[in-house]
């Protein structure tokens, strides 16, 4: 995918996501993507339907689908940035399910979400 393909995709995605009250981020490295979407169930389903049917990619894999208490990226219709391969691999391999602590309480964020927030927070070249 060229830079202009990506810009075109993001323009279209942001417009549609805004119409569905969906926020999130899209990280990419060397033609691979990791995307985090959040919003009302119906909006997520509509956005995900567009992603599934988009012919610009293959091999779609879902890491997590579930309720959230609050948005991680309320200000991003779809923030996007390139990241190093190591970031993509650590995000891919993280646990995206919330793991109960020794007291049996569920933390608000899973290890994958904490990692995503930490990586995205550090990046400056976000468009
Ligand atoms: C990696 C990736 C992420 C995408 N994310 C979104 C998204 O968040 N929202 C959305 O509406 N479409 C998303 N799409 C789909 C594209 O925006 C859209 O289908 C494509 O750019 C064609 O746009 P068009 O139907 O306006 O021509 C994504 C596609 C890819 C390949």
Q: What is the CATH number of the domain that holds 104?
A: 3.30.70.100
Choice from 14, 32, 50, 73 to test ligand 1 binding pocket (greatest atom count within 8 A of CB): 50
The residue segments making up the domain with residue 12 are: 3-122
Q: Between the CA of residue 52 and those of 56, 62, 119, what are the distances in Å?
A: 10, 11, 26
Whether residue 66 has pLDDT greater than 80: yes
| DSSP-derived 3-state class of residue 34 | strand
Full-model pTM: 0.89
pLDDT digits (tens, 9 = 90+) for 22-33: 999 999 999 999
Q: Write the CB contacts of 29 (distance below 8 Å, at least 6 apart in sequence).
A: 82, 83, 84, 85, 87, 88
* Residue at 34 is within a domain: yes
115 membership: H or E segment, kind and range: helix 111-122
13 part of a folded domain = yes
Number of domains in the chain: 1
Ligand 1, atom 9, residue with closest C-alpha: 13
> Has residue 55 got a pLDDT over 50?
yes
Whether 127 is covered by a domain: the verdict is no
Is the separation of the CB atoms in 80 and 126 below 8 Å?
yes
């Amino acid at each position: 995918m060229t830079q202009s393909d990506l810009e075109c995709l993001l323009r279209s995605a942001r417009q549609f996501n805004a119409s569905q009250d969906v926020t999130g981020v899209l990280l990419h490295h060397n033609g691979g993507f990791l995307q985090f979407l959040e919003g009302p169930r119906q909006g997520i389903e509509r956005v995900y339907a567009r992603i599934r049917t988009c012919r610009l990619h293959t091999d779609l894999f879902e890491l997590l689908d579930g309720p959230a208490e609050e948005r991680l990226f309320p200000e991003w219709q779809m923030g996007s940035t390139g990241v190093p391969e190591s970031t993509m691999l650590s995000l891919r391999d993280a646990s995206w399910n919330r793991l109960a602590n020794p007291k049996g309480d569920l933390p608000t964020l899973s290890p994958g979400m904490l990692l995503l927030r930490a990586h995205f927070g550090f990046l400056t070249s976000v468009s």
